[in-house]
Amino acid sequence: MDIDDLERAAARHWQAPETEPLGEWLLRAAAGFTGRANSALGVGDPGVPLPAAVARVEDWYRRRALPPMIVVPGPLQNGAAPASLDHFLAERSWVLRPGPALVMTAAIADIPPAPPDIRPPDIRPPDSLPPDTLPPDTVVQLASQPDAAWLALYRYRGQDLPPIARTLLMSAPWQAFASIRKSGRTVAVGRISVAPQSAPQPQPDEPLGVITAVEVDATCRRQGLGVAITAALVAAAADRGARRILLQVETGNTPARALYARLGFRDSHRYHYRVAPAP
């Protein structure tokens, strides 16, 4: 899959409650919670000249009292020429939003499965990783919805979750929520979702798994919990027929990038957001 196809596929895993197509672009709004759900996905042909498309984006978001924002994916090379959309927006003083990110992908067959003592009963038993990967008194649970403890631990950019967060967390065709508990306390959480890689077809294509909302309690880091929660999420995606997995991580999050690289994930492409100047 090329960059545009991957971005379209990822959009099915985090669907804003309000959307509107603009040619092949997609406008999305969710009361301002998360950039992905409150930005225009500017890939493909908007069906109108670029100046008109950008003007439509500005008007659409301003009518919803949201800052107009467009996500701009691109290749990994730092020296690559900017995309025409990015160049157009930069010339018009659209500013870069902090926190550019990488998309990483992996074949599920290349990711070590979780140890037996942390796998919920509805996930197939593993064939590798020692059972002592996690500290004692540590249990993993997989649920179809996030419970109060899961929601209490997850933080998007350090903020408490607004009510609309649950709508976004439950917006994929299928999702599950993993929690790792130690001595009765939730110390790590993560979300896995599975959806077809392309728009619905008479014959559905191979599903893609996407990992989001991974959080480890600050007091319990460097104990293998990040590896364990990721492995459990990957196993759940495999049970739903996914063979590939995707995740997004900020470029500045060096520990997370190193962890995912150790598990077999490789960089696919970058993306950033451009925000319109104030009127």
pLDDT tops 80 at residue 127 = no
Average pLDDT over residues 15-21: 97
pLDDT tops 70 at residue 80 = no
CB distance 261 to 106 below 8 Å: no
Of the spans 74-83, 151-160, 211-220, which averages the highest pLDDT? 211-220
The least confident of 16-30, 155-169, 180-194, 207-221 is: 155-169
pTM, entire model:
0.87
The whole-number pLDDT of residue 182 equals: 85
CB distance 30 to 64 below 8 Å: no
DSSP string, 199-252: S--SS---EEEEEEEEEE-GGG-SSSHHHHHHHHHHHHHHHTT--EEEEEEETT
Average pLDDT over residues 85-96: 95
What is the C-alpha to C-alpha distance for residues 27 and 190, in angstroms, rounded to an integer? 26
Percent residues over pLDDT 90 in the chain: 70
pLDDT tops 90 at residue 76 = no
Confidence of residue 139 (pLDDT cuts 50, 70, 90): confident
User: If residue 27 lies in a helix (H) or strand (E), which one and from where to where?
Assistant: strand 25-29
Which residue matches tokens 């003007």? 55
Which residue type, as a one-letter code, is found at position 107? A
H-only helix segments in the chain = 3-11, 50-62, 84-91, 148-153, 164-169, 225-239, 254-262
Average pLDDT over residues 191-218: 83
User: Rounded to 5 degrees, what are φ and ψ at 207?
Assistant: -70, 155
Confidence of residue 135 (pLDDT cuts 50, 70, 90): low
Mean pLDDT computed over every residue of the chain:
87
The whole-number pLDDT of residue 128 equals: 32
Closest CA relative to residue 247, chosen from 214, 195, 213, 211: 211
CA distances from 202 to 108, 147, 193, 205 (A): 26, 35, 22, 9
pLDDT tops 60 at residue 130 = no
pLDDT tops 80 at residue 7 = yes
The least confident of 26-30, 144-148, 169-173, 219-223 is: 219-223
What is the C-alpha to C-alpha distance for residues 234 and 160, in angstroms, rounded to an integer? 26
The least confident of 111-115, 173-177, 268-272 is: 111-115
What is the C-alpha to C-alpha distance for residues 38 and 228, in angstroms, rounded to an integer? 31
Confidence of residue 114 (pLDDT cuts 50, 70, 90): low
The tokens for 55 are 């003007």
Greater confidence, 156 or 61?
61
The whole-number pLDDT of residue 270 equals: 94
CB distance 249 to 101 below 8 Å: yes
pLDDT tops 60 at residue 214 = yes
